[in-house]
Structure 1
Amino acid sequence: MAGLLKGFKTAKDKKTKRHLIALLLSEHDIEKTGLPQLKLDLMFVSHVTTSPSTFTSLVDKHDAACILIGVQSADNKHISYARKKHPCAFIIITHSRTCNNATARMEAVRDGANMITELDNADLQQALEMVSQLGKDVGPYVCPYCHTRDFTQKDLWIHCPLYHINVPNSVQRHRDNCCPICMNIQSLPMMVHIHDDHAPSKEPHFGRPKLYAFALVVCQRPSDDKFLLVQEFGSNGYFLPGGAVDHKEHLTTAAIRETKEEAGVDIDLTGVLAIHYAPSMHENYVRLFAIFVATPKDENQRPKTLPDFESAGAVWVSAEEIPSLKLRGDEPLVYINEKYCKGATVHPLSLFEF
């Protein structure tokens, strides 16, 4: 095994050397991983063993930065023992059956594994390179989960999801879980917050955009095939009835409510014409529009004529009239004239059942 280990680049400063222990793996297994070709800056392969009898002695003796375990035991005792002895080590299970069995993967994570993969998977090499580079520079940050110290912001950004992606969201969202970088208590899971708000990039990162949802309605009166349009306030022209979805409100409920408020007409929704997703190119938000198809509950119900903060009123118009009207936006033309009147598919309302 000595000949194999000579091929690894080791840390120049003995104080920073950290061991990679390969347990229950053969020299052939190690060759299969591609490890001898890797440059592991702050980590070197110190011990490889295929013998279960030497497993505990190696785990007990050495300060391991990374532990590879290649054989699955019935009760994952090797994983549990390695985790107990090395709470901050990166433990990788390189076992094909465990990797490809859903139950076995969850059990390995439960018992302390950070990663489950196969010997010939390129992800293994990438993980080892990432682990080996952590700690090159000394920083002021402490991991909130394993309490490893001296991370730079970049190292912590790499370390947290790599080592602790399986920390339950309830723990990540705990009221006392303060971000070690900005010192703010987060409502988001900590992994998401650190990834989005503390990325080591020179490019500005806006984090997760705010999502604003809107419901619009193409409402047609069956007796004369006319469509309901709202006369917008501020002399902005005509638009489809609809508006923003309120807090805790479903899209379908918003469509019915907004049509009543803006146009004064009670409606029955009959389908979904389109869903439109519109990210802002300049601000940190996106808008989601659901465009519904509807008919009036009572064709004799008069549209709204009393001006208020919602609208100046509403009117029934033919599709032929729409191009000649002043419109607040192109939506009446797009969804009535170009889609609905030309036979676009109307999807069932069950599209929004969860």
Structure 2
Amino acid sequence: MLHKVKTLGGRTKSSKRSTSRSDASVGSASVLLVGSSVVHAQELTTVLKSLSNCKVATCEPASNVGKTLNSDSFDVVVFDADKDGDLAHTIRSAAGARKDAVFVVVYAEKAAALATERLKLSAPPTGANMVTFDPDDVFKAVKLICDRSQNGELSCPYCAASGFFEDDLWAHVPLFHINSRSDAKVACPVAGCESKTQLELAPPHRSRDNMHVHLRNEHGKPGAGEAPKEARAPTPVWPFALIVVRNRRGKFLLVQQFAARGYWLPGDRVNPAEDLKSAALRIVKEQAGIDIELTGVLRVSYTPQNDFARMRVIYVGRPTHDGEAQTLKTVPDYLSVGAVWVDVAELEGLKTHGDEPREWFPYVARGAYVAPLEIMTSESAPVMKL
């Protein structure tokens, strides 16, 4: 398969992406089980033996791991952190120059279940790559390592391991280096890639982790259009506010739509830089001619389309004390023909622009649940009080 990438001069060139690896030399992996109990060792050996290109060895006691790693090269080291939580540092040190290319797995029930243990054991630069107590997940990780090619032209920008095709590198980086922080010296190794260094990926005040984002989106299957990219550009959202207004006599507010479309709830788009609550108050005033106060939220809906999304918030409100005595709008303009109060029974046979009045008027009249206004607020607002 040919994957077109732009060169630094703006031209395009084809780089080989191997997905089936039928043309590649498939690799292998040697796994060392350190200090595992007999049961754990049997579990892991059973799942790994189905990989024909995987060799499994054991090291017991765990104190011998340094000597074992000095005498043999292992791609994966699995150890039981419930017995020795400091082994990750020992393994990295014993691996010497290959320390970043060794995939270190903590296989322990306690470590996998406790948040503080996971964080401590996976902390860079000497931490484990993976913390788990699932033999099938160990199998998945080792299989990815076994399946990587050996005759590709790319090298990992973090550990300098070589022989990758683009898809192999795309799988390798998060598996081995997801906790590594990018810096200005980390360069994208794909030939012709416009984003060559971390400084070119983002200005200095931005997160330094953008090399991961770059590889995730611009290379491998997402870069070839075979898988979706992580959304980086903002999605245009059209926010709307609709309002169910009920007065103290139990009647509901309907707005007569233009172009003979019948009646509907007061509702319209929210203006730029306008918050939803202010928009709801404005819309009722413009379309019905009265002032209201909002009392709750009935529904928040988000409907994605191909290139935008529509968001609708349906509020519940009531006329203010002064608004109850105000006369409803009767002079037509571009926003509405006028407004009227109705009870639920009057909806029968009445032409409406949408189904919302028939759905929500009976619901509110029954005294059904209405969410508090605080459910729709700004990001910096405090947590709702019970």
TM-score by length of 2: 0.66
The one-character-per-residue Cα deviations of 1:39-65 (angstroms, maximum 9, x if unpaired) are: 154x433x4212344322333454443
The match for 1:31 is 42
Q: Deviations over 1:65-103 (max 9, x none)?
A: 322122453545336536874213322101222222221
Distance in 2 separating the partners of 1:334 and 1:57: 74
Unaligned segments of structure 1, at least 5 residues? 1-12
Q: Where does residue 316 of structure 1 map in the other structure?
A: 340
Contact 1:273 1:344 survives alignment (8 Å)? no
The amino acid that maps onto 2:132 is T
Q: Post-superposition shift, 1:327?
A: 3.4
Q: Percentage identity across aligned positions?
A: 28
Equivalence for 2:284:
259
Q: Secondary structure at the match of 1:215?
A: strand
- Residue aligned with 1:86, SS: helix
User: Take 1:321 and 1:193, find their aligned partners in 2: how far apart are those partners?
Assistant: 59
Q: In structure 2, do the counterparts of structure 1 residues 203 and 74 end up closer, same or farther at CA, with 3 Å as the change threshold?
A: closer
Q: Measure, in 1, the Cα distance between the counterparts of 2:187 and 2:289.
A: 49
CA deviations on 1:102-155 (whole Å, 9 max, x unpaired) are 21111011142121112x532222222223223367376x65655655544543
Structure-2 separation of matches of 1:323 and 1:143: 69
Moved more, 70-79 or 267-276: 70-79
Q: Is the 8 A contact 1:214 1:290 kept in 2?
A: yes
Distance (Å, rounded) in 2 between the aligned partners of 1:113 and 1:125:
16
Matches within 5 A, 1:103-118: 103-111=116-124, 112-118=127-133
Match of 1:215 among 241, 266, 271: 241
After TM superposition, list the pairs within 5 Å mapping 1:36-55 onto structure 2. Answer: 36-39=48-51, 41=53, 43-45=54-56, 47-55=57-65
Give the count of matched residue pairs.
Answer: 328
Match of 2:142 in 1: 128
Q: 1:348 aligned to 2:345?
A: no
Q: Secondary structure at the match of 2:243?
A: strand
Instruction: Please report the RMSD computed on the Cα atoms of aligned residues, expressed in angstroms.
Output: 4.3
Question: Letter of the aligned partner of 2:110 in structure 1?
Answer: R
Q: SS of the residue aligned with 1:128?
A: helix
Alignment-mate amino acid for residue 128 of structure 1: V
Q: 1:77 aligns with which of 89, 98, 103?
A: 89
Judged with a 3 Å threshold, the aligned counterparts in structure 2 of structure 1 residues 130 and 273 are, in CA distance, closer, same or farther, namely: same
**Is the partner of 1:332 in helix, strand or coil?**
helix
Which amino acid in structure 2 is aligned with residue 292 of structure 1?
Y
- Provide the rounded CA distance (Å) in 1 between the counterparts of 2:189 and 2:333: 50
Local SS of the residue matching 2:75: strand
* Aligned equivalents of 1:261, 1:249: Cα separation in 2: 15
1:21 match:
32
Residue number among 102, 105, 120 corresponding to 1:89 in the alignment: 102
Contact 1:18–1:63 under 8 Å retained in 2: no
- 2:123 is aligned with what amino acid? R
Q: Paired residue for 2:4?
A: none
Separation in 2 of the partners of 1:303 and 1:92? Answer: 71
Counterpart of 1:273 in structure 2: which amino acid? L
How many Å apart are 1:270 and its aligned residue?
A: 1.2
Look up the SS of the partner of 1:92 in the other structure: strand
The SS at the match of 1:344 is coil
List per-residue Cα deviations over 1:209-230 (Å, max 9, x = no partner): 945543321011224x332334
Separation in 2, partners of 1:37, 1:334: 60
After TM superposition, list the pairs within 5 Å mapping 1:155-166 onto structure 2: 155-166=168-179
Is the Cα–Cα contact under 8 Å of residues 231 and 315 in structure 1 kept in the other structure? yes
Q: Note if 1:65 corresponds to 2:91.
A: no
Query: Which deviates further from its counterpart, 325-334 or 231-240?
Result: 231-240
